[in-house]
Amino acid sequence: MKVIRSMVLVASDPGSADRDAQEVYRRLQEEIRSLGLVEEVVVTTMGCVTRQEAHPLVIIYPEAVAYGPVKPDDVPLLVERHLREGQIVTDRLVPKELFGPISWLSARRGTLPAEQRVVLRRAGVIDPEDIEDYIIYGGYEALGKALTQMTPDEVVGEISNAGLRGRGGAGFPTGLKWRFVARENRTPKYVICNADESEPGTFKDRLILEGDPHSVIEAMVITGYAVGASEGYIYVRGEYQLAQARLRKAIAQAREMGFLGENIFGSGFDFDIHIHSGAGAYICGEETALIESIEGKRGEPRARPPYPTTHGLWGQPTVVNNVETLANVPPIIQNGADWYRQFGTPHSPGTKVYTILGNVNVTGLIEVPMGITLREVIAIYGKGIRNGATFKLAQTGGSSGSIIPASLQDTPMDFDSYARAEVSLGSGALLICDENTCAVDLTRVLLNFFRKESCGKCTPCRVGTERAYRILTDIAEGRGTLSGIEELEMLIGGLRQLSNCGLGQAAAVPVRDILRHFRAEVEAHIKLGVCPVGVCPMSERQLVVA
């Protein structure tokens, strides 16, 4: 048998809009074949693992050299020099600032020298379609430890002590949620991984699923053991075809190796996982709507309480956790709560995966400790605002997050500091907007999203989002009145207090935020009849363009 001496990972998820990545992949295979290296070199794909500007990205192991952005025409050179002659092609390396050292830092001091990767530590390092790669990098060790050395109670305790909080938006303490389910006596119980991820601007969960699918599977088995469930569901957004394919493959491999199924690790514990594909509905990310959808119905949220922890899937006790939350579980079990608490802040330990978007020089994803500031994100990871413009506002956490003005950019990004500033961290999408962004226009686009995604079950949300959208459109098109602002204020109250679920409540937030922070700009649209930034249809610049 020949020994494989190199592995080449190409960031070429077919969903990525980068046509050339697929061409790079194809050329790599072709070159390697024509040089007769097929037996020695494995070429495989990974998801996107760093900032978008480094893509198409190619990483070659065992040297762990990252090349990018790689053009199809660079491929013969890389194959000849690196794979045949063993030399590193220095002028094709990924610029250092895009792929800096990823290190395991303890508590943060001063400015950030590097990313800290916990949940994404394997993405881009292993072949996501090969369980053996996962195992070589410590995979399924945490499961073995939990099942053979810990009681379910101890597992829940470890997660509680680690201070892990949900990464799906609300930040609810994970250990506490598990405890609620663990103490229920009724069986069967269920574990659901929420991989619906339809929050605009958010694609962190996709990258975890595509880059390291086994970590989520391992986490679900541990969760099942901790709470006493023996069946799990992964609800994956319908559009995430690659993530689904990788999960299916990973589940099959895990079954074959005995990490799923009956009597796992000889512990007497059984657990299996089903995949459920979404079919295009943002509201299905809400946990009770998600449960309805798995049951084969319209994904309309249920009234809460009762919560899924007591009355979840088919009325049974159910844990619903986000992908990123789950991906934190194996490293916590493996290394202990104290280790985990080195990262982040005392009340929000750990790291957070963010997507950075909008008017920054470098977009894409990062994983950094909880508690860093938006100013740091923009300067260090976004490499500043594009075209030398000024930072005006950011939207945190996708459409359901908040709009924050530049004056709040030094607030630490952790659950508590943000809650105190009435800002929602949401899902971790950071949309950075420069001075050319109009607050009215942005909010109108957001309300358009909410009115379309409202499931329509309750009137305050169905009518309120539509009405708010109309008023904002009127303001943007030069028909706004001051009484419209009053009506918006009333609608905010109604949406927040009377909506049945988080969607209606979230729809109020951007409206509240622009009236709080950008009121003068909104009023200028009405009183002076101009869009100060020149974006809205009423403005002069628009007339020239149209």
Partner 1 sequence: MTIAVREDLDVRAVVQAAVERHGATREELVAILSDVNREMGYIPAEAFEEVSRLLQIPKAQLFSVASFYKMLAIEPRGRHVIQFCESAPCHVVGGGELWRALREELGLEPGETSADGRWTLVTTSCIGLCGVGPVIVVDDDVYGNVTPEQLPEILARYE
Residues 350-389 that bind ligand SF4 (CB under 6 A): none
End-to-end CA distance of the chain: 67
Q: Mapping DSSP to helix (H, G, I), strand (E, B) and coil, where does residue 150 land?
A: coil
Distances (CA, A) of 481 to 134, 416, 486, 527: 60, 37, 9, 8
Binding range to ligand SF4, per CB under 6 A, among 23-31, 51-59, 364-372, 495-503: 495-503
Query: What residue 264 binds from ligand FES, ligand SF4, partner 1, none (CB within 5 to 8 A, per partner kind)?
Result: none
Nearest approach, Cβ of 267 to ligand FMN (angstroms)? 25
Quote the radius of gyration of the chain (alpha carbons, Å). Answer: 24
Closer of 253 and 454 to ligand SF4 (Cβ): 454
* DSSP line for 528-543: I---TTS-STTSHHHH
| Residue 176, number of CB atoms within 10 A of its CB | 13
Closer of 442 and 501 to ligand FMN (Cβ): 501
Binding residue (CB under 6 A) for ligand FMN from 169, 299, 412, 480: 169
Angle between helices 204-211 and 213-227 (to 10 degrees): 100
Query: What residue 166 binds from partner 1, ligand FMN, ligand SF4, none (CB within 5 to 8 A, per partner kind)?
Result: ligand FMN
Rounded to an integer, what distance in angstroms lies between the CA atom of residue 55 and that of residue 259? 34
Query: What residue 441 binds from ligand FMN, partner 1, ligand FES, none (CB within 5 to 8 A, per partner kind)?
Result: partner 1
Residues 314-333 that bind partner 1 (CB under 8 A): none
Residue entry with tokens 């686009």: 445
Q: Could you say which DSSP state residue 247 is in?
A: H
- Would you say 271 and 152 are in contact if contact means Cβ atoms under 8 Å apart? no
Query: What is the pattern of x (binds partner 1, CB under 8 A) and - over residues 394-433?
Result: -x--xx-----------------------------x-x-x
Closer of 202 and 409 to partner 1 (Cβ): 202
Binding range to partner 1, per CB under 8 A, among 16-24, 27-35, 63-71, 146-154: 16-24
> Is residue 500 a contact residue for ligand SF4 (CB under 6 A)?
yes
- Would you say 165 and 418 are in contact if contact means Cβ atoms under 8 Å apart? no
> Is residue 285 a contact residue for ligand FES (CB under 6 A)?
no
- Would you say 14 and 244 are in contact if contact means Cβ atoms under 8 Å apart? no
User: Residue 92 carries which side chain, given as an amino acid letter?
Assistant: R
Q: Which two tokens stand for residue 207?
A: 């990258």
Q: Which two tokens stand for residue 125?
A: 């390092």
Torsion of CA 477, 480, 486, 491, to 10 degrees: -30
Given the rule CB under 8 A, which residues bind partner 1? 15-18, 48, 52, 197-203, 206, 237-240, 276-282, 293-299, 355, 357-359, 363-365, 395, 398-399, 429, 431, 433, 437, 441-442, 445-446, 448-449, 452-453, 455, 535, 545-546
**Residues near ligand FES, by CB under 6 A:** 200-201
